Amino acid sequence: MHILVLGAGVVGTTTAWYLRQAGHTVSVVDRQSGPAMETSFANGGQISVSHAGPWASPRAPAIGLRGLFDASAPVRFSPTANHRQWRWMGSFLRECLPGRVRRNTDALARLAISSHAELRSLRNTLGLEYDGSSSGILHVFSDRREYERARERAQWLAAHGIRIEACDAPGCVAIEPALTGSRRALAGGLHAPDDEVGDAHHFTVALAAACVEAGVTFHFETTVESLDIHDNSVRGVAVRDARGVRGLLCAEQVVCALGTHTRQLVEQHGPRPALYPIKGYSITFPAGPGAPRVSLTDEEHRIVVSRLGNRVRVAGMAELGGHTVTLEPERVELLKRLTRELCPDAGDVDNAEPWAGLRPCTPGNVPMIGRSRIDGLWYNTGHGSLGWTLACGSAMVLTTLMNTGRPAFDFPVLTGRRH
Ligand SMILES: Cc1cc2nc3c(=O)[nH]c(=O)nc-3n(C[C@H](O)[C@H](O)[C@H](O)COP(=O)(O)OP(=O)(O)OC[C@H]3O[C@@H](n4cnc5c(N)ncnc54)[C@H](O)[C@@H]3O)c2cc1C
């Protein structure tokens, strides 16, 4: 079967690999000049199985409200007149109900565990190099009540077999000595020794090269403008290349892995997937002598610090308010200040390379994997804050679904009716 994958981010490229391994003829189309140039370019780098929970939780509305009035809050909500934003917010609030949080956490945990196993196997089979490290992730907390709540949530994940160990403040410093000079008063930490980090961009570029060797065709600098649909069945996509020349790419099946742009494309044809972009920032700088080896998540300020080879990446911020990736200097400065406070000797923060990207978020953080309402059109998108963590497992779930009609394990796939 000839399958066209739309999008060469970490999700589209892993999808292309798994579909090709299953024996399909696969082409990938992307508007950029190479793989993973948008949201997968400079994310936090964490493979955080231990944090495979949704953002929507009973505490989330209060956190969002704080962001309405405090410009320096890590989570910021800028209300717009756009009805899509309000509809998405309504769905998000529904997903904050305790029963839904539990259901979403369970689905994400199962997907994250499978994804981690798939990533390890891919890395070993193909010898992929992507500045990866298996030193684990340490979540640190400054607020004791927040810490106790997180310990309770960690028990849900532990029930899935995810190793998470609680430690006091000295225990945190023993696990990661880079915290010795930290200006944060630590209440405690949760250590996930099996978690990993790696550069999602490097990984995707390496995997795309392996895809090409395996026979996958990539069409870069090619923008998908619309779907070619006859009698509610997709036959391909209308595209425009870098010179502005328009054409048609035909296929028997189409997988949409366009991240935040999925909605714009399919909305023209009727379906209205509940996807909204949530902007985040990162800075990357050369590692200093006091750079952490264990990846850190500062739960109070919602930033992650990851060692990627001889670089350090710090990522965070969540801004709900539109589609732009403009770098706001005060947000970049905030990220730098938080880095200096947490790990004063992490490296040359002054000369950090800033970046911003849009997380493709569903209200419950559970990605959209499965059939759309249009015959032959499939989704693998909506991975929000966890796209790097979940990419390999999502590609495997979709491939198994397309081949056998069932997901490989218990996961709420789309059936063509649910969005
Ligand atoms: C600040 C930040 C930190 C993050 N940290 C982490 C982390 O530590 N761990 C983790 O697991 N996840 C993290 N994430 C989330 C993760 O980066 C995303 O979930 C993931 O990159 C999404 O991948 P994707 O392939 O779906 O989207 P993308 O990488 O955006 O890929 C979509 C592709 O579609 C292409 N495209 C779009 N529109 C068109 C069109 N019309 N025609 C042709 N091509 C098109 C784009 O060029 C792009 O290549 C973070 C995100 C941000 C913003």
Site to substitute for ligand 1 among 29, 205, 388, most atoms within 8 A of C-beta: 388
What average pLDDT score do residues 132-139 get?
97
d(C-alpha 380, C-alpha 261), whole Å: 12
Residue nearest to atom 2 of ligand 1 (CA): 43
Pairing between strand 137-141 and 295-298?
parallel
What the block records as the tokens of 360 is 């493709």
For residue 360, what pLDDT is reported?
A: 97
pLDDT of 384 above 80? yes
For the chain, give me the number of helices (H) and strands (E)? Answer: 10, 21
**Tens digits of per-residue pLDDT, 77-132?**
877 888 888 899 999 999 999 999 999 999 999 999 999 999 999 999 999 999 99
Q: Which of 320, 359, 366, 368 to mutate to test the pocket of ligand 1 (most atoms within 8 A of CB)?
A: 359
43 CB near ligand 1 (under 6 Å): yes
pLDDT value at 419 more than 60: no
Q: How far is the CA of 182 from the centre of ligand 1 (A)?
A: 31
CA distance 56 to 100: 9
The atom of ligand 1 lying closest to the CA of 317 is 1
Question: Where do the domains of the chain lie?
Answer: 2-40+202-274+365-415, 48-82+131-198+275-361
Class of domain 2-40+202-274+365-415: alpha beta
**pLDDT attached to residue 73:** 80
Give the pLDDT of residue 382: 98
Alpha carbon separation from 123 to 203, 257, 339, 388 (Å, rounded): 9, 22, 30, 14
Residue with the nearest Cα to atom 44 of ligand 1? Answer: 30
> Is 278 strand, coil or helix?
strand
* Residue 40 alpha carbon, nearest atom of ligand 1: 21
Place of tokens 């425009």: 240
What spacing in Å lies between the alpha carbon of 202 and ligand 1's midpoint?
14
CA of 38 to the centre of ligand 1 (A): 6
Distance CA 299, CA 192 (A): 14
Q: Answer whether 313 contacts ligand 1 (Cβ < 6 A).
A: no
Residue 309 banded pLDDT, cuts 50, 70, 90: very high
Ligand 1 pocket, mutate which of 40, 268, 325, 353 (most atoms under 8 A from CB): 40
- Please report, rounded to a whole number, the percentage of residues in the chain having pLDDT higher than 90: 85
In this predicted structure, what is the pLDDT of residue 79?
78
Q: Quick one: pLDDT at residue 224?
A: 98
Tell me what pLDDT residue 58 has.
86
User: Cβ contacts of residue 125 below 8 Å, gap of 6+?
Assistant: none
Q: Name the 3-class secondary structure at 348.
A: coil
Q: Average pLDDT in the 41-49 region? A: 98
Contact 131, 308 (CB under 8 A): yes
Distance 37 CA to ligand 1 centre (A): 8
Q: Is the pLDDT of residue 418 over 60?
A: no
Asked whether residue 416 carries a pLDDT value surpassing 90, the answer given is: no
* Ligand 1 atom at minimal distance to the Cα of residue 282: 1
In whole angstroms, give the CA distance from residue 13 to residue 212. 11
Instruction: Report residue 355 as tokens.
Output: 């970046």
**Measured between alpha carbons, how far is 335 from 354 in angstroms, rounded to an integer?**
10
Tokens of 191: 């250590």
Q: Is 393 in the pocket of ligand 1 (CB under 6 A)?
A: no
Chain position carrying tokens 């949080």: 101
pLDDT bin (cut points 50, 70, 90) of residue 322 is low
How high is the pLDDT of residue 363? 96
Output DSSP code: residue 59.
T
Residue 226 scores a pLDDT above 90: yes
Q: What is the mean pLDDT of the chain?
A: 94
Give whole-number Cα distances, 271 to 266, 268, 277, in Å: 6, 8, 17
Rounded distance between C-alpha atoms, residue 242 and residue 223, angstroms? 8
pLDDT at position 76 over 50: yes
Over its C-alpha atoms, the chain yields an Rg (Å, rounded) of 21
Domain at 48-82+131-198+275-361, CATH class: alpha beta
How many angstroms from the chain centroid is the CA of residue 228? 29
Q: Above 50 in pLDDT, residue 160?
A: yes
The DSSP-derived string for 136-190 is -EEEEES-HHHHHHHHHHHHHHHTTT---EEE-HHHHHHH-GGGTT--S---EEE
Tens of pLDDT along 238-267?
999 999 999 999 999 999 999 999 999 999
pLDDT at 164 over 90: yes
Which of 188-199 are b and which e, b meaning 16 or more Cβ less than 10 Å from the residue's Cβ?
bbbbbebbbbbb
Residue of 385, 386, 390, 392 with the most ligand 1 atoms within 8 Å of its CB, for mutation: 385
How many angstroms is it from 12 CA to the middle of ligand 1?
Answer: 9
Ligand 1 atom nearest to CA at 222: 43
Q: What is the pLDDT of residue 115?
A: 98
Whether residue 203 has its Cβ less than 6 Å from ligand 1:
no
Ligand 1 touching residue 281 (CB < 6 A): yes
Residue with tokens 């198994």: 400
Minimal CA–CA distance to 375: which of 291, 252, 292? 252
161 falls in which pLDDT band (50, 70, 90)? Answer: very high
Cβ of 28 less than 6 Å from ligand 1? no
Helices 83-95/98-126 angle, 10° precision: 100
pLDDT digits (tens, 9 = 90+) for 275-301: 999 999 999 999 999 999 999 999 999
Please provide residue 90's backbone torsions phi and psi, each rounded to the nearest 5 degrees. -60, -45
The residue-averaged pLDDT of 350-360 equals 97
Query: What are the pLDDT digits (tens) for 177-225?
Result: 999 989 889 999 999 999 999 999 999 999 999 999 999 999 999 999 9
Q: Is 258 in the pocket of ligand 1 (CB under 6 A)?
A: yes
H or E, element range at 94: helix 83-95
Q: Which atom of ligand 1 is nearest to the CA of 37?
A: 49
